[in-house]
Amino acid sequence: MGLSSAQAFTIITALSFLLLFLHKILSPWVELPRLPEQWLAFRSGLAWTIFKDRVVFSEDMVLDHESGFAIISSDPGRVSWNALWGRSHASQRHGQLLLYDYSGSGSLREIDLVNFPTTSGFHPLGVGLYREEENSHARLFVVNQGQDKSCVEVMDLDYENARAVHVCSVTDNNHTIRSPNSVSPVSYTSFYVTNDQCLIRRRHPFLSFTERVLGLPLGWVTFVDFSIPYKPICTIVAGGIPFANGILVTPTGKEVLVASTSTDIVRIYERDPETDALSRKYSSVYMTFHPETLSFDRSLDKDDLTVFNSSGKFLRGVVATGSPDAGRLFCMAKNPHGCVAPSVVAEIRRRNGPDLGPFPGSLFNLHTKYYAQTLFADDGTFYPSSTSGDMDSKRGRLIVSGLYADGLLNIIWDPKETRH
């Protein structure tokens, strides 16, 4: 017979207090992984931090390769309001979206939110971008982490005037969009969104900690179709995922990748483009760090047989970003300038190959068909707490944001060169 709800609650509560006690005792003795102070995979690469005084607490960012703009989510109030780590006091400061012209003038502008609901707070987490075809308008999908409930905000972008016109807020009253983290759109009116936890912190502060630390498989992926206004159709398409975080639909639409942050695994599901269903079985990439977000180098040509095979499965181009030290991230959540967490950015590729980085991006496993090549690694001294990275290899750019870092990490190289 299975455990009753009361028995399960009691067991998880006891484990929560035990883990909190062990964390308090052991955390001072945890040392940083042996990462270098900045390592780049690009021979001609240069890296420096930009906008230190303007970009803070950036969970996610996305590149629009067609226009050469980066859209960055930033929440200056995250130090007081954090649904996962650190404090959870109501924040009077709202988040913002920033527009970085990385391929042109290099300017950074705050995006004006037009028609945004005045009754809603704005605390952005994951962002996703959709464009139907070249020269069509860009639509932005933003996870908004509310204090009472969370949703996905949908906005149409106007780059020239740095505006985002609010279209709608998508929610289903905490049923299948309960703890949204990352979003990946597949059309102007549909998207996949991860739910990182079942036991959300605003309701179960101790139990949610246990769920994360133990890697309990309680996260899931929801597919949302909101083509009928005010009546979104929400369907759970993948479940049993420990801390489901970053999500990515590949440009061909044949695969969906999900980062399980607490288990250091990136899951790869096959996708049916006709029904949007995901396969029950999945492949696993075993990372050496906690993957937070996933992106794809969309400057690559979909018809290039070194990028996608004849079945539309990716061969290269997937970028995973995270940190190998959750303890240091937790420390930075409580005191962003009191300690540093290391950073790793790696490209996931099919088949097997070498990784010349001093801190390999993935673990060797005989049963996996994938591996990761390190693009950037740092012990946190140069740029800490990386959570998002997106690459434009045709322009020779890799831009990284850090959840508790000041500014963006800007990496440039000669696109014609080969990597280390």
Give pLDDT tens digits for 39-64. Answer: 999 988 999 999 999 999 999 999 99
Contact 242, 264 (CB under 8 A): no
- Say how far apart CA 98 and CA 33 lie, in whole Å: 32
Task: Please answer whether residues 265 and 217 qualify as being in contact, where contact means their C-beta atoms are separated by less than 8 angstroms.
Answer: no
Residue 45 pLDDT: 93
Dihedral over Cα of 259, 265, 271, 277: its sign? negative
What is the pTM assigned to this prediction? 0.90
The residue assigned the tokens 């597949």 is 186
- What's the chain's length in residues? 420
User: Which one, of 156, 196, 186, lies nearest residue 293 by Cα?
Assistant: 196
- In degrees and rounded to multiples of 5, residue 110 shows phi and psi of -80, 135
Dihedral angle, C-alpha 138, 122, 295, 273, nearest 10 °: -60
Q: How does pLDDT run across 184-237, given as a tens digit for each residue?
A: 999 999 999 999 886 666 665 656 666 666 777 889 999 999 998 788 999 999
Best CA proximity match to 295, nearest among 314, 271, 274: 314
**CA–CA separation, 296 vs 63, rounded Å?**
10
Q: How many CB atoms lie within 10 A of CB 204?
A: 18
Q: How many CA atoms lie within 13 A of 30 on its CB side?
A: 17
**Degrees, nearest 5: CA angle 218-219-221:** 140
pLDDT at residue 136, rounded to an integer: 85
Q: Give all domains of the chain, ordered by start, each with its CATH number.
A: 35-412 (2.120.10.30)
- Report the alpha-carbon distance of residue 394 to residue 417 in Å, rounded: 11
Q: How many other C-beta atoms lie within 10 A of the C-beta of residue 305?
A: 9
Reading the block at residue 147, the tokens are 């204090």
In sequence order, what are the residues at sequence separation of 6 or more whose Cβ sits closer than 8 angstroms to the Cβ of residue 193?
Answer: 126, 143, 152, 177, 180, 181, 182, 183, 184, 221, 222, 224, 247
> What residues of the chain score a pLDDT lower than 70?
1-13, 15-17, 19-34, 80-93, 119, 147-148, 198-213, 420
pLDDT at position 29:
47
pLDDT at 55: 95
Handedness of CA 98, 101, 107, 113 (dihedral sign): negative
In whole angstroms, what is the distance from residue 249 CA to residue 270 CA?
A: 10
Q: What pLDDT is attached to residue 28?
A: 47
Farthest-apart Cα atoms in the chain, separation: 65
Question: Are the C-beta atoms of residues 154 and 184 closer than 8 Å to each other?
Answer: no
What do you get for the CA distance between the two ends of the chain, in Å? 56
Give the pLDDT score at 212. 67
